[in-house]
Amino acid sequence: MDPLILVPYLPRAERSPGPEDLGWRAMCQVLQEHQMCPRRKSLLRARVMDFITSTAILPLLLGCVGLFSLFKLLQWLRMRAYVRNAVVVITGATSGLGRECARVFHAAGARLVLCGRNAEALEELSQELAASRAPEVQTHKPCTVTFDLADPGAIAGAASEILQCFGHVDVLINNAGISYRGAIVDTSPDVDKRVMETNYFGPVALTKALLPAMIRRRQGHVVAISSIQGKISLPFRSAYAASKHATQAFFDCLRAEVEQHDIEVTVISPGYIHTNLSLNAVTADGSKYGVMDETTAQGRSPVQVAQDILAALGKKKKDVVLADPMPSLAVYLRTLAPGLFFRLMASRARKERKSKHS
């Protein structure tokens, strides 16, 4: 209560008020009560803090933190146990994300089948992993299978060789891929076909070749490394985005069809990763792009992405987006506000075209 409110109602005095006056006493009492308010608030805060830190609340808070930590530990142990001693096939294992996946899964105790086009690079990676040791688990010497995923005639023989390595396949990681940079109007159809062969038809053919063995065992996990561009399309990436859209659609269908056989299917859609993907991308005329894009250079570490992939498998996730908030937001923006999304993409295309001509 504000003491000044009482001033009009105090008795008028012809002389200065003193302690013996009733009005003076009332005024002093109100002022004293007003000064006590902050003290009461401080006392109340102190009592609340005492209650929070009392023997009833503090153990409860500590218990919640402990349960959460235990839950995260159990998740981590389950993730590691999921691939321990499992036969994991990784395509495109000689560089970039595939190479880091090989290291991460090897350290988790998986029995690896490393696939790629370069036999020498595969053998070098196999020896590197065989020489490394993980303190927590027993590791295994990887097996290598050399073939070109873009060659349809090589798939059946490669699948047979893969199955001979350890007798079966538990996890197939379709990682191999090629990127593209160019304008649609300038791009040869042969370039579109080349990108589709590597990014779509090759993984599809290998999956179909290994799938019957998984169905017979009623056990298996198929992983497709797609891209955020499998959900949204960026200008001057048409062939790449088309191949990743097709990948997303195929493996979504596969997941529904093989659920009855207890086979898991996971689609991983990373954003930009700091690898040589843009350096090795093909252009409109089929030549190598040979440029490290700024977005790629600033992308996520392939080690971190490989660890996220291992975690996603351990949790048996169906569809995982591993991208920064902005690309993830764009996925929802395309669905909720398609008009705005496509205007933004057209604006981006104009900026890229301008930068190329400047």
Q: Give catalytic residue positions.
A: 240
Side chain identity, residue 91: T
Q: Answer yes or no: are the C-beta atoms of 267 and 248 closer than 8 Å.
A: yes
Three-state SS for 125-175 is HHHHHHHCCCCCCCCCCCEEEECCCCCHHHHHHHHHHHHHHHCCCCEEEEC
d(CA 61, CA 229): 43
Handedness of CA 149, 151, 154, 155 (dihedral sign): positive
Residues paired with residue 172 on neighbouring β-strands, in sequence order: 89, 222
The three-state secondary structure class of 289 is coil
DSSP 62-124: HHHHHHHHHHHHHHHHHHHHHHTT-EEEESSTTSHHHHHHHHHHHHTT-EEEEEES-HHHHHH
| Nearest alpha-carbon partner for 327 in 308, 313, 348, 307 | 348
**109 contacts 139 by C-beta, under 8 angstroms:** yes
Q: Which residues pair with 277 in a beta bridge?
A: none
CA dist., res. 12 & res. 14, Å (int): 7
92, 262, 75, 302: which is closest to 170 by C-alpha?
Answer: 262
In the 8-state DSSP scheme, what is residue 185? G
**DSSP label at residue 288:** B
Number of C-beta neighbours around residue 356 at 10 A? 9
Q: Are 195 and 182 in contact (CB under 8 A)?
A: no
